[in-house]
Every structure is written in C-alpha cells, then in structure tokens.
RNA sequence: GCCCCGGUAGUGUAGUGGCCUAUCAUACGAGCCUGUCGAGCUCGUGACUCGGGUUCAAAUCCCGGCCGGGGCGCCA
C-alpha cells in the first residue's frame, strides 16, 4: 500500500532555513509554500518558504522542460515539495540555490489571495484576523507566535524548576469568582452555568489538598464590553498559587518567571525577535516595589488627587510610569479596591497584601497573599455584598486545615504583547475573541 | 457602559460638492526576456459599505442601518 499524496522521500524533508552553501553537492527534500515565481523566459526562479526560512529553486527550460512548465503554472502560496541538488552559487543572494530533479504540487492555492503574505503593502489587523492562516505565513506574524511559544516555554521551565505542579481546573462553573458581573452564562443541561472568569477559587482550594505549589495556563472569560487594544473576552491566564508563602515570596517567583521568559526568548526565538526588531535585556532583580500610597503622592506632585481607595486611572499610571523603569510592582493596595480573598494588613486593615505588576501603564499581573481564615473570608464576602452560601464549596476547603498561601495571575497575551512590542493584544492571540468577533 | 473616529479594486491607499468615465502602489491576466531574488518593460482586468435625503450636480453634505478602529471606565 502506498500513499500517493506525498513524495516517497518526504520523511527526509529539511527545514528550508537549515540548508546552506555547506550542503553543496548534496540532495535535499524541501516542502512549503510558493512565495514567489520569477519566470525570465528560459530560466525561472521559485521561492519556497516554510516556518524556518526560504530557499530558491532554479529551473532551466532547456534542461528540465516538464519541471519548468509545472513551476511556471504554479499560483503563489500553493504547496509544493521538491527533491533537489544543492549548488553553491555566486549569482544567488543566499550563496546557493536548489536545482530540482522532482517537483510536486501538493495543494494548489486559489487566486486572488484574500491577503498576500509576500505583498509589498500593509495589512490591517481586521484583514489579518479574517485570514489568519494566510497572515501567519507572513514572517512578522509567524514571529509573534514563535515568541509566544518561547515565552510559555520559559515560564513552564522556571515553574517546574521551582517545583510547581501543573494543573487544570474547570472552565464551566456554577458561581462567579468575585461577584456576578462579567460572567458569560451558559446552559448546562437543565441548569444554568457560567464560563469561569479566573481559576482563582480552584487553585486556592488546591492549597488545602497538599499540592503546595500549583500553576495553570488556561483560558479565562470575561463578559465585559471593553473596547481597547489590551482587553479580550477570552484570554490566556498564567496562574500560580503557593502554600506557606506571602506576597513577597510570590513576587519573587514572578520576577524569576519573567526573567526566564525573556531568557527563553533570546535562547529559543532569536530569529523571531530579529524579525520583529526587538532587543530584549532581562531586567535586574529585584524589580522596584512602590506602594499604592507612594503612587498617590507621585500623582499629587502632578496635581492629580487620588482619593484613598480609588483605583489608579490611566492618567495616574502614566505619570507614575514616567518616574520608574518599565517593570515595577505596585504594592499594599487598599483592601476596598481588591477582591474578598486578599488579606488585609493586620495593623492597617484598610491596606492589603495585594500587588500588581506593571509594564509602564499596563497591568500585567495581579496577585497577593490570601485570606486563609474562614471567619474572615465569610466576613469579607458579606462586606462586598456577596452571599457566603454561594461560595460554600470554596469555604469548605478552609475549614479542615488550610495553609497560609499567596499567588498571582499573569496575562499571557499581555506578556506577549509587551515582550514582542506589538500594539494590539489581538496581534498576539491566534483567534482573538472580542466584543464583535467570534469568527474565525 | 460613556465618548470620538472611520468604511474607495483581492490588498494597502489618494481624493472633503462639478476638473472622478476616481489616484498611486501592490496583486491578478496576456506578452517579451537565461541570472532573478522588492526582477524589469509593454498592454489589460478590477473599487466609492447599505438605505433614505439635500442639491442643477454627491465618493465628498445630512439622517439611519451594518461593519470596523481608538480613548476612557474596568481589568489579565
């Protein structure tokens, strides 16, 4: 039994970017998209591209009339495979070219293309998203997602090294994490359920399980009608929760995770960074920590009054960012501005052990030490107008031995946005979900 | 949720009442070319978001719909 869809030697396929003048005289198999075809009459040049790079196939009409005819008939972005001899060449910009002995069309592309990956014109985000698979054939777009993978790889390696256990928590839930707003309702057989807005409650429950240190990378859903370049209704959250730890301890984990993400980018995606024109210098640790009260004072210096308990507006955050390095923590937030599960400071309970990690004016992480006393948790639920009955399954985990713990949630999409220096978070998500878009 | 802005060939754009039978680039089709690699040259195809209104005249002004972009709030 043979498989006639692929050439017999396809298993020997080499990434285009791995072939060089050093392969002179050898035979290689390549496969990819036809980026460009330049037919000069008696000689034609075909550029084939895969994820790793491009190669030029050179076809002489006299020497290989059938291949020349086939190559000349190809439409851009069609998928081809070729077996070819590598020849060092001064005439080719790359210093070598491929002389094919076999060429096969594996998947023809229709024309015109809804988006030309090799076109010398810009592409609007809207057009790119509507044709994402073609957009991804553009080196710049491809590079963003190669970077995203390298970032997650660095995060994963660092957390594993610090003995965190990777877990998955449910995305279909019965109650809100922090109140009723912002949830997508769904029909769950005969009952109403919701898409989870955060793994917060579940990762805390796991602190009562003995798993000690857990982390999860997964989707979170927020039914908020925001319309900005940094919000999506489905986003990817990197979460940790750590027992026997306070806010300082998990801030330390976060700093090391960030540094690991940047190092991983430099190590595993240097070409992608170059394509994007990004140079990354991992920051010196520790990152600066400034308190919320200090932020208010900085705002006051610019004649902006921030009442205690009030959230920091974009205007205030920009003013603060002007005075600090790109990455910094804002600590000791007012208890009133943070969720019920954040622990108040004992000798100043209007303050809390909550922190945010900021990249200039953008918030990328929110975390803190948690309340682990069940009585205090119940009281804080009531204070925030929530019904402890609805949280019974969560509160139960605090009654039979719950270690003190802390944690954070880091936005994977925003982290990618920042590290790849893109402008819109939609550029950093393959198939983003916003107020208007659920297709593709 | 509040506010502002936009929609012109496949793609990206110029055009703010008549000079628009609409600009340019790119893509696409045909032709020429044995060294291209942003190939080149010649010729050609291809568009004003939809509906209503104002006007002698609307891509252009007004109203509404649809679609999109951005800011703020909120947050990851």
DSSP letters for A170-193: -SEESS-SSSSTTPEEEEETTEEE
- Convert the pLDDT of each residue in A75-116 to its tens digit: 999 999 999 999 999 899 999 999 999 999 999 998 889 998
Is the pLDDT score of A181 beyond 80?
A: no
Among A405, A376, A372, A400, residue whose Cα is nearest residue A388: A376
| Domain spanning A132-288+325-428: CATH 1.10.3720.10 | no
Q: Is A42 helix (H, G, I), strand (E, B) or coil?
A: coil
Q: What's the pLDDT score for residue A437?
A: 85
Provide the residue ranges of all domains of chain A, joining segments of one domain with +: 8-107, 132-288+325-428
CATH architecture group of domain A8-107: Beta Barrel (2.40)
Angstrom distance (rounded) from CA A182 to CA A178: 9
Contact between A266 and A228 under an 8 Å Cβ cutoff? The reply is no
- At A307-344, the pLDDT tens digits run 999 889 999 999 999 999 999 999 999 998 899 999 99
Q: How does pLDDT run across A92-103, given as a tens digit for each residue?
A: 999 999 999 999
Contacts of A6 (CB under 8 A, 6+ apart): A81, A106
List, in sequence order, every residue forming a beta bridge with A403; answer none if it has no partner: none
Confidence at residue A176, expressed as pLDDT on a 0 to 100 scale: 67
Percent of chain A predicted with pLDDT > 70: 98
Task: List all nucleotides in chain B with at least one atom under 7 A from a protein Cβ.
Answer: 1-3, 10-13, 25-29, 32-39, 67-76
Q: How confident is the model at residue A428 (pLDDT cuts 50, 70, 90)?
A: very high
- What pLDDT does A439 receive? 83
Q: Is the CB of A365 under 7 A from strand B?
A: yes
| Position A254 confidence tier, pLDDT thresholds 50, 70, 90 | very high
pLDDT at A185: 86
Report if CB A426 to strand B is under 7 Å.
Answer: yes
Give pLDDT tens digits for A296-305: 999 998 888 8
pLDDT band at A192 (very low <50, low <70, confident <90, very high): confident
Minimum CA–C1' distance nucleotide for A62: B34
Q: Model's pTM, two decimal places?
A: 0.93
* Interface residues 27-86 of A with strand B (CB < 7 Å): 36, 38-43, 45, 47, 56, 58, 60, 62, 75-76
Measured from the CB, is A227 under 7 Å from any atom of strand B?
Answer: yes
The pLDDT confidence band at residue A4, using thresholds 50, 70 and 90, is: confident
Window 109-168 of chain A: CB closer than 7 A to strand B: 111-116, 119-127
Q: How many CA atoms lie within 13 A of A170 on its CB side?
A: 12
* Nucleotide B54 C1' to residue A130 CA (A): 37
- Tens of pLDDT, residue by residue over A366-398, are 999 999 999 999 999 988 888 888 899 999 999
ipTM: 0.88
**A50's tokens:** 């895969």
In this prediction, residue A178 carries a pLDDT of 65
């Amino acid at each position: 039994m043979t498989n006639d869809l692929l050439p017999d030697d396809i298993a020997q396929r080499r990434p285009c970017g791995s072939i060089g003048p050093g392969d002179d005289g050898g035979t290689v198999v390549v496969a990819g998209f036809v980026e460009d075809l330049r037919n000069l009459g008696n000689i034609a040049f075909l550029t084939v591209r895969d994820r790793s790079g491009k190669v030029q196939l050179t076809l002489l009409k006299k020497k290989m009339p059938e291949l020349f005819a086939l190559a000349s008939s190809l439409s851009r972005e069609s998928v081809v495979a070729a077996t070819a001899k590598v020849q060092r060449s001064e005439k080719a910009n790359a210093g070598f070219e491929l002389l094919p002995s076999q060429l096969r069309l594996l998947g023809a592309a229709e024309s015109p293309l809804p988006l030309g990956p090799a076109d010398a014109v810009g592409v609007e985000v809207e057009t790119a998203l509507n044709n994402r698979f073609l957009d991804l054939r553009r080196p710049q777009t491809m590079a963003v997602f190669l970077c995203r993978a390298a970032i997650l790889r660095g995060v994963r390696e660092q957390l594993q090294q610090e003995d965190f256990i990777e877990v998955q928590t449910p995305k279909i839930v019965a109650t809100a994490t922090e109140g009723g707003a912002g949830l997508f309702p769904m029909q769950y057989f005969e009952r109403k359920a919701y898409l989870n807005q955060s793994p917060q409650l579940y990762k805390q429950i796991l602190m009562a399980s003995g798993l000690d240190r857990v982390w999860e990378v997964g989707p979170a859903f927020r039914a908020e009608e925001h319309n900005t370049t940094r919000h999506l209704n489905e986003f990817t959250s990197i979460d940790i929760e750590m027992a026997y730890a306070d806010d300082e301890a998990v801030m330390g984990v976060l700093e090391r995770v960030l540094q690991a993400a940047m190092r991983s980018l430099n190590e595993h995606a240097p070409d992608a960074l170059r394509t994007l024109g990004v140079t990354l210098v991992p920051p010196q640790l520790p990152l600066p920590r400034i308190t919320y009260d200090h932020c208010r004072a900085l705002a006051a210096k610019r004649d902006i009054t921030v009442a205690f308990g009030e959230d920091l507006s974009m205007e205030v955050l920009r003013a603060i960012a002007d005075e600090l390095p790109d990455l910094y923590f804002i600590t000791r937030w007012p208890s009133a501005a943070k969720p019920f599960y954040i622990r108040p400071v004992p000798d100043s309970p209007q303050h809390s052990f909550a922190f945010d990690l900021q990249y200039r004016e953008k918030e990328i992480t929110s975390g803190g030490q948690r309340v682990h006393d069940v009585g205090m948790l119940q009281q804080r639920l009531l204070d925030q107008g929530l019904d402890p009955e609805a949280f019974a399954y969560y509160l139960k985990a605090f009654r039979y031995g719950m270690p003190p713990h802390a944690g954070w949630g880091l936005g994977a999409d925003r982290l990618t946005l920042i590290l790849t220096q893109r402008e819109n978070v939609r550029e950093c998500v393959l198939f983003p979900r916003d107020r208007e878009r659920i297709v593709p």
